[in-house]
Structure 1
Amino acid sequence: MIRITFRQMQYFEALAETLHFGRAAEVVGVTQPALSAQIAEMESQLGVRLFERGGGSVHLTEDALAYRPRIERILNEVRDLQADARRERKELEGRFRLGIIPTVAPYLLPQLLPHLKSRFPELRIEIREAVTATIREETINGRLDGMIAAGPFDDAALTSEALFEDHFLLAIPASEVGRVPAPVEPENLVFERLMLLEEGHCMREDALAICGRVKPVSMASFGATSLTTLLHMVGHGLGVTLLPEIAAGAAFGRPDVAMIPFSEPAPARTICLAWRKSSARRHDHVLLAEAIREVHGAIVSDSRQPKQTRSRGGVRTAPAPLPKTNDGGEP
């Protein structure tokens, strides 16, 4: 009779994620020899090799790749059962694996993480920063407990809750202030010089949709993996780019970049928190959503203050107040 324990499956999951015996042992809180012994016992019970070892690296075998989704489903069902049993106890406690897109993570997390630590001291949050397609798949498969990305999500396996509206601004070289009328229209020829994030970033599609009938042509062969890199490129006069309001603070103090508002209705993206419909931690997700809205409200309120603002022809280095919203981001 084959006997696979829950602990062995946990060790398998940790090793499959880290591909390193030492780091996997740290994740599950055991010694490396103990983890290795349990993996070896699991392989013995299944009668297959799960991991290829050698040359200082670890790789999943074809058998491990085949077993992994089923093992993850079992682990998630047990975790959901445990979470359901704890729902009358402390709120937002224990391990919570959160995915978040790169165009939100650097601007939200510096304030969100200490806020969560203070408000939910028993919470052990783990962050996975990746593009939407990656964290969506990992949320559906149970490798993540939830994800923060631009919605809506057309997936029957997920449920989501809107967090806030993130308005866009146009970042231009400061040397070009006065050449681009403000507020800017989506049909303005300045968008021919629009620089985009690399393929896979949802903001790339947002940018292409916003620039209307003007097709970006001059920077077709160039792209970036972060908004920070795009701002550096703008500052050196290589083109223009879109900047979400949550990231507006990244342009503060930069004498080489100016920001222009869009004409009304100003384009925006809806940032959402999504999780598996089968998850028993819905109340935890609701609490997390409330905490995110609180932190976002503070970030936006601070960014809308008129500090270090330089106005010339409607252009500014810091965004002027946008219309009030009902997403918790009112100044």
Structure 2
Amino acid sequence: MTLTELRYLLSLAEEKHFGRAAERCHVSQPTLSVAIRKLEQRLKVQIFERGRNRVMVTPIGDKLVAQAKNVIEQADRLEMLARNTGDELAGPLKIGAIFTVAPYLFPHMIPQLRKIAPDMTLDIEENYTAVLRERLRNGQIDIAIVALPFTEADVLTKPLFSEPFEVLLPTDHPLARKASITAEELADNDLLLLGEGHCFRDQILDACPSVARSSRDPEGRVRTLADGSSLETIRHMVASGLGLTILPRSANLHAPYSADWLVTRPFTRAAPERTVAIAWRASFPRPRAIDALEKAIKACRI
């Protein structure tokens, strides 16, 4: 059994398609198929159930895949130790962050991290929480930056900061004359929200029952944007006069529009908020890298 075979195994388990797995491993499909078959024969178990159009991992295969991930991670650690003489702050770190955190955190975090760990480069992606969860579990990223709650077996989390939600509205909107705004007032106005899959949307609906009710009402004034929209897209729509929105405070700290166009207002009562945290596999072999990342983020004072 070789590390190459185990990498083939993990790729097929994740892609569930021989062609895509082979492409990901930069080998031909027959090469990968033969290697998987030999591995099954050597272990005397069926790891994959093969169908006409899909591949499924068998129950015993799930256990073998989990163990293979541990083996590959430890092998990668050996390579890292040899390459960097044991320096956990050297070499790339693969980070994933949710869409509503990444654009407001990374421009401030990266300069801080460069001061702390100048030899540690970042391989960055933005995605939904559900996708980051899977990619973290599969070892495709080292660290995820998410909003709590976030629970996953064999994954550790550490809170970084909490931030309140704020209302963003045009300067000439009648509600802009108020010092604070209630959730009920928002539900009675045209309100723009991110689409399904964004945890920030779910947090707003959980914290604001009146907004949640309006979002379910066909006659309500809450509008859900199409997939692919971002907080910045919504900001531009608010500036154009299409409605109001709710943003995390970090999204308003360095806003592109002046107070002549857009203003923010707090909630009247205790503002809904979110806690942003880092998550990593318990077996991740570079704890100093996690410490450095935490230090850099906290230095941003978001």
TM-score when scaled to structure 1? 0.68
Evaluate the alpha carbon distance shift between residue 99 and residue 73 of structure 1 in structure 2; reply closer, same or farther with a 3 A threshold.
farther
* Greater RCO, CA 8 A, separation 6+: 2
1:75 maps to which of 69, 74, 84: 69
Q: Does 1:223 align with 2:225?
A: yes
Q: Does 1:39 align with 2:32?
A: yes
Please report how far the alpha carbon of residue 41 of structure 1 lies from its aligned counterpart in structure 2 after TM superposition: 5.5
Q: Could you list the runs of 5+ residues in structure 2 that have no partner in the other structure? A: 41-45
Where does 1:1-331 land on structure 2 (aligned, <5 Å)? 4-10=1-7, 19=20, 24=24, 39=32, 42-43=35-36, 45-46=38-39, 61-62=54-55, 70-71=64-65, 73-80=67-74, 83=77, 86=81, 89-176=86-173, 181-189=178-186, 192-214=189-211, 215-217=213-215, 218-220=220-222, 222-224=224-226, 225-249=229-253, 251-254=255-258, 255-263=260-268, 265-294=270-299, 296-297=300-301, 300=302
Q: Could you list the runs of 5+ residues in structure 1 that have no partner in the other structure? A: 26-31, 51-59, 301-331
Query: Secondary structure of 1:195's match?
Result: strand
Q: Distance in 1 between matches of 2:277 and 2:195?
A: 22
The residue type equivalent to 2:106 in the other structure is L
TM-score when scaled to structure 2? 0.74
Deviation digits for residues 172-231 of structure 1, max 9, x if unmatched?
A: 122205555122233335554322111111111221133343543544453253101111
Q: Distance in 2 between matches of 1:65 and 1:97?
A: 29
Q: Greater shift after overlay, 117-126 or 282-291?
A: 117-126
Deviation digits for residues 22-78 of structure 1, max 9, x if unmatched?
A: 7x46xxxxxx57x77963652463479x9xxxxxxxxx9516799688446413334
The residue type equivalent to 2:268 in the other structure is S
Deviation digits for residues 216-263 of structure 1, max 9, x if unmatched?
A: 354445325310111122122222111111111453335432211223
Please report how far the alpha carbon of residue 162 of structure 1 lies from its aligned counterpart in structure 2 after TM superposition: 0.7
- Calculate percent identity across the aligned residue pairs: 30
Q: Distance in 1 between matches of 2:136 and 2:251?
A: 25
Task: Check conservation: 1:132, 1:149, Cα contact below 8 A.
Answer: yes
Query: Secondary structure of 1:265's match?
Result: coil
Evaluate the alpha carbon distance shift between residue 232 and residue 221 of structure 1 in structure 2; reply closer, same or farther with a 3 A threshold.
same
Q: Distance in 1 between matches of 2:170 and 2:192?
A: 12
Q: Distance in 1 between matches of 2:8 and 2:166?
A: 46
The residue type equivalent to 1:277 in the other structure is A
Q: Distance in 1 between matches of 2:30 and 2:91?
A: 26
Aligned to 1:311: none
Q: Greater shift after overlay, 256-265 or 167-176?
A: 256-265
The residue type equivalent to 1:172 in the other structure is L
Q: Distance in 1 between matches of 2:155 and 2:109?
A: 23
Q: Distance in 1 between matches of 2:282 and 2:264?
A: 40
Task: Check conservation: 2:190, 2:221, Cα contact below 8 A.
Answer: yes
Q: Greater shift after overlay, 239-248 or 88-97?
A: 88-97
Query: Secondary structure of 1:200's match?
Result: coil
Q: Distance in 1 between matches of 2:118 and 2:176?
A: 51
The count of residues paired between Structure 1 and Structure 2 equals 279
Deviation digits for residues 5-28 of structure 1, max 9, x if unmatched?
A: 213433665686794877x46xxx
Please report how far the alpha carbon of residue 143 of structure 1 lies from its aligned counterpart in structure 2 after TM superposition: 2.9
Q: What is the root-mean-square deviation of aligned Cα atoms in Å?
A: 3.8
